[in-house]
Amino acid sequence: MAAIPELMSRLGWTQEKLALYVARAAPCAQVETGPPWWLSWPIHLRQAVSHLGLVYEIQAVPGSGGTSLALTAMMAQKQIQDHTYQKQHWLMGIEPPGQCFNGHALAMLGFDNDTLIMGRPEKKDTSIMALQAVRSGLFAAVFIDLSAESRLGSWVTHSRRLMLAARESHTMVWLQTSMKAHRHKPLSSQVRMRVTPQANNIDVQLLKHARGGAPWNGELRHPATWHFESEQNMFLLSHETS
């Protein structure tokens, strides 16, 4: 963790803006998940996740599980990096002040204070912290919660800067926006998803392929349905295609 305090000191991040989150697991029923959960992902998404330097935008209805989807993908990316580079890579989540991810769900996914760094800057500092985190090269993936933003127009520019920085530092970036509250043009010019609740399922559709050569082969002919089973807000993932 020594690199994180050094980064904080170099960039001027304060403890008020950065929280070293400790996820504590609560007792829960043990669920047999079979093989590693991310191996059951649709092949196009697994291949996309294995590539660094991508920017994803998740347009999610509040409460539909978009955050869990992004964090799950981030953990998969960290596992890929650890296996490939045999080196610790941290993950970073940036969310509005006063919010807090579900600690039980984070712990069950494998997050702890040696894995996930949480930043809660003021709104005006969100884009700066995000860009600094991506450029640092310390993080396998950076998640930015913009679902509470009332004006997303300026983030078109920020997302382009993040995309360039992500390519240079080989970092994956996830932007979460609210599909219900904002009718906006897509911020990301690479990969965009839409997460909507449908009974106990969540439909995730790739609405746009990456420009300049997509990292997966073939077209997405059928949307994938991701089945989420809730166990105290812990989501277990499986999928089928229509």
Percent of the chain topping pLDDT 70: 48
Residue 176 belongs to some domain of the structure = yes
In-domain check, residue 30: no
> What is the pTM for the complete model shown?
0.74
Task: State the chain's mean pLDDT as an integer.
Answer: 66
According to the model, what pLDDT value does residue 185 have? 67
- The tally of domains found in the chain comes to 1
Task: Report the pLDDT averaged over residues 201-213.
Answer: 47
Q: Show the domain range for 97.
A: 14-23+35-241
- pLDDT at res. 108: 64
- 98 is a domain residue: yes
Of 17-21, 85-89, 123-127, 223-227, the poorest mean pLDDT is in 223-227
The reply to whether 121 falls in a domain is: yes
More confidently predicted of 85 and 161: 161
Residue 113 inside a domain? The answer is yes
pLDDT confidence bin for 23, thresholds 50/70/90: very low
The phi-psi region of residue 117 (left if phi > 0; otherwise alpha if psi is between -120 and 50; otherwise beta) is beta
CATH number for 69: 3.40.50.300
Return the structure tokens found at 192: 């965009």
* Any domain includes 2: no
Among 228, 241, 217, which Cα is nearest to 72's? 228
63, part of any domain = yes
Instruction: Return the residue matching tokens 């994180």.
Output: 4
Supply 122's token pair: 């003021």
pLDDT digit string (tens) for 160-190?
888 889 888 888 888 888 766 456 666 766 6
Give the model's pLDDT for residue 30. Answer: 39
- Residue 9, domain member (yes or no): no
